[in-house]
Amino acid sequence: MDTQVYPIKVSKLIFKNYCYLVVDTTTRDAVLVDPAWEMEKIEQLMQEADANLKAVLITHHHPDHINLANAFAKKYQIPAMMSQIEISYYNFDCTNLTPILSPDVFHVGELAIMPLFTPGHTKGAVCFWIGGALFTGDTLFIEGCGMCYDRGSDPGEMFDTLCNLQKILPVDTKIYPGHSYGKEPGAEFQYLLENNIYLQFRDKEQFIEFRMRKNQRGALAFK
> pLDDT tens, 57-67?
999 999 999 99
- pTM comes to 0.96
Q: For 111-145, what is each residue's pLDDT tens digit?
A: 999 999 999 999 999 999 999 999 999 999 999 99
* Mean pLDDT (the chain, rounded): 96
Least confident of 42-46, 168-172, 215-219: 215-219
Does residue 1 surpass a pLDDT of 80?
Answer: no
pLDDT given at position 104: 95
Give CA–CA dist 82/93, Å, rounded: 10
pLDDT given at position 219: 81
Give CA–CA dist 218/223, Å, rounded: 11
Q: Rounded to the nearest 5°, which phi and psi values hold at 197?
A: -60, -30
Q: Where are the alpha helices (DSSP H) in the chain?
A: 39-48, 63-66, 69-76, 84-90, 155-168, 189-195, 204-211
pLDDT given at position 107: 95
Share of the chain above pLDDT 90, in %: 93
Give CA–CA dist 140/148, Å, rounded: 12
Give CA–CA dist 116/100, Å, rounded: 10
Q: For 23-75, what is each residue's pLDDT tens digit?
A: 999 999 999 999 999 999 999 999 999 999 999 999 999 999 999 999 999 99
pLDDT given at position 218: 79
pLDDT given at position 26: 94
SS3 for 38-88, per residue? CHHHHHHHHHHCCCEEEEEECCCCCHHHHCCHHHHHHHHCCCEEEEHHHHH
- Split at pLDDT 50, 70, 90, the class of 98 is very high
The number of C-alpha atoms within 13 Å of 174 and in the hemisphere containing its C-beta is: 16
The domains of the chain, with CATH numbers, are 3-211 (3.60.15.10)
pLDDT given at position 4: 95
